[in-house]
Amino acid sequence: MVVSDLGQQLKEARLARGLSLDDVQEMTKIRKRYLEAIESGDYKVLPGSFYVRAFIKTYAETVGVDADELLTEHKQQVPDVDPEPTMEPVLQKRRSSRVAERNSKWLSTTLMWSFAVLILVVIYMYFAVWGKNTDQAKGDQPDPTPVTDVRQEGSTNNAGKAAGQNGTDGTAAGDNPGGTATPPNASSDGVNTDGGTNAGNEGTGTGGETGQQGVVVTPDGKEGSTTKFLVQASGSEPVKVVITASGKSWVEVRKGDRRGEKLYYENTSEGDVLTYDLGPEGLYVKSGASSNTVITVGGQVVTDGKSTTKIQLNLGTADSGSTSGDQGTAGNGEADGAGDQGGEG
């Protein structure tokens, strides 16, 4: 193998350091056949003139030779670096293809994520808007389970008729601060028109219902802002409490007292009729707009005379009612006796 002066100088420096071509290949990462071509001066084996100078410089620095001085000394043997115009278009083409590939990947990734986000937005809107509307539609319908809620045409007129037949007017009753319970057979001046017998036994309730026999409702004091009424019934039939609405009013009905179990707890509408049985535990009734509700107990209109009605109904015995009836009967007897004596005179 022919060795050039430059290659011979590099070879001697390599051998002086005790290095083989395999060692130099490992250290410089230059292929062994290129190193052999440099030592023999066969530069055509190398990829190009640029690589000739670069490989020679790297080889020289590895074996401890001044590369610049070596290239200057043997510049006649080392080919000049020729411009390689073909490299730039190739690099540009590769760079363009890489950019295009990167843009394509980015575009596909963006589209994929945009589609996923769009699906999530549609799902959210579906459940948020449609579900909310459904809940509102359900929430607008009151649950009539705990109470009897019947809408009847002309119930307002019936309520007014009941109030008139019981000798009381809703407006006039509202002027009475102590609360009133009007028996169905009593006149406006409180005198029993049926001779004092069975006071409050007959009357017409709200909505055209017939008043219950033997039911007497009397005021029983106050507890805070709540007016108490004692309800006395002589029969075994449950005492009916009827609330007739002629307009919107917040109505609260509880078993027992104002802290008891809720039976009704919402706004009423015109024509609503709520019916309950008065039990031994009592009944608490509150109406936010008294003028829009009529409350009857055993067919008798009951009011506390306030713009916001708060009534506590307690069930008692009928002893006082019977006594009142007996006294009324006795009074009528005395009046009849006096009349007879006057006739004899």
Mind listing the pLDDT tens digit of every residue in the chain (345 residues)?
A: 445 688 889 999 999 999 999 999 999 999 999 999 888 888 888 887 778 888 989 988 998 888 888 888 877 777 665 555 455 454 556 667 777 888 888 888 998 899 899 999 999 988 887 766 666 666 555 555 555 544 444 444 444 444 344 444 433 333 444 565 655 444 444 434 343 333 333 333 344 445 677 789 999 999 999 999 998 888 778 889 999 999 999 889 999 998 899 999 999 999 999 999 988 899 998 999 999 999 998 899 999 999 999 999 898 864 544 444 344 443 444 434 433 444 443
- Residues 6 or more apart whose CB falls under 8 angstroms from that of 178 comprise 219, 227, 305
Reading across the β-sheet that carries 249-255, which strands appear in turn? 215-223, 226-233, 309-316, 283-287, 249-255, 261-268
CA distance linking residue 24 with residue 32, whole number of Å: 8
pLDDT of residue 23: 93
pLDDT of residue 267: 94
Q: DSSP of 138-185, one letter per residue?
A: HHTS---TTSEEEE-TTHHHHHHHHHHHTT--HHHHHT-TT-EE--TT
Kindly state the DSSP code that residue 29 receives in the 8-state scheme.
-
State how far the alpha carbon of 211 is from the alpha carbons of 28, 65, 203, in Å: 118, 129, 4
Q: Are β-strands 272-278 and 300-303 bridged in parallel, bridged antiparallel, or unpaired?
A: unpaired
CA distance linking residue 180 with residue 304, whole number of Å: 6
Other Cβ atoms closer than 10 A to 92: 10
Other Cβ atoms closer than 10 A to 294: 28
pLDDT of residue 306: 93
**Rg of the chain on CA atoms, in Å:** 56
Kindly state the DSSP code that residue 126 receives in the 8-state scheme.
I
